[in-house]
Amino acid sequence: MSDDAAPWLIVGLGNPGAEYAGNRHNIGFMVVALLAERMRGKFKAHKARAQVVEGRMGPPGPANRRVVLAKPMSFMNLSGGPVTALRDFYKVPVDRIVAVHDELDIDYPTLRLKLGGGDNGHNGLKSMTKSLGAEYHRVRCGIGRPPGRMQVADFVLKDFSSTERKELDWFVDRAADSVECLIAEGLERAQSTYNS
């Protein structure tokens, strides 16, 4: 069971660098950036090879939680290293870690929240699970499958299409809402509200 004083660690998965900023693979970065904006926080470099924002999330009262937002700066397939270092630094139980990531097996723009599970070939999750075990929360942001014969790697490293971009702000906003709901009200409530 989690220690109530421990913060939540919300990790947006993505690749650092301007050339990746609009990629489908970087939706996790987009969601934590919006959460930081809502908390009026600025990302700062952390020795764990990550950018972090520390603050509080949720309504005033007992549901107001201490949180650390993080963007690992290690590239997607090495995310486990920075996340483990942050977990150790902030003393975060694994069940208070939330990975926000793109998901090929869910249609765009669909959200699914869950605790634990496999990595579905996602290199960021694979790296995290290898370092932490699988019992962390996931906010899975559906990006759908590549069209035709496009390779998965090419698809996830491309920017959202102009059609997708029409809904992207709404999708990122909804994903950020789902994280806030998960932290304040728990997984079941967040699933019943946001899983579609």
Residue positions annotated with a catalytic role:
25
Per the CB < 8 A criterion, the answer to whether 49 and 81 are in contact is yes
DSSP 160: P
Alpha helix stretches (DSSP H) within 68-161: 80-90, 123-132, 152-156
Burial class (CB in 10 A: 0-12, 13-18, 19+), 147: exposed
3-class secondary-structure state, position 58: coil
Residue 44 tokens read as: 């700062």
Rounded CA gap, 180 and 117, in Å? 21
Per the CB < 8 A criterion, the answer to whether 87 and 52 are in contact is no
Please enumerate in sequence order all residues whose Cβ is within 8 A of that of 80, keeping only pairs 6 or more positions apart, or say none.
127, 128, 129, 130, 131, 132
Phi and psi of 99, rounded to 5°?
-100, 125
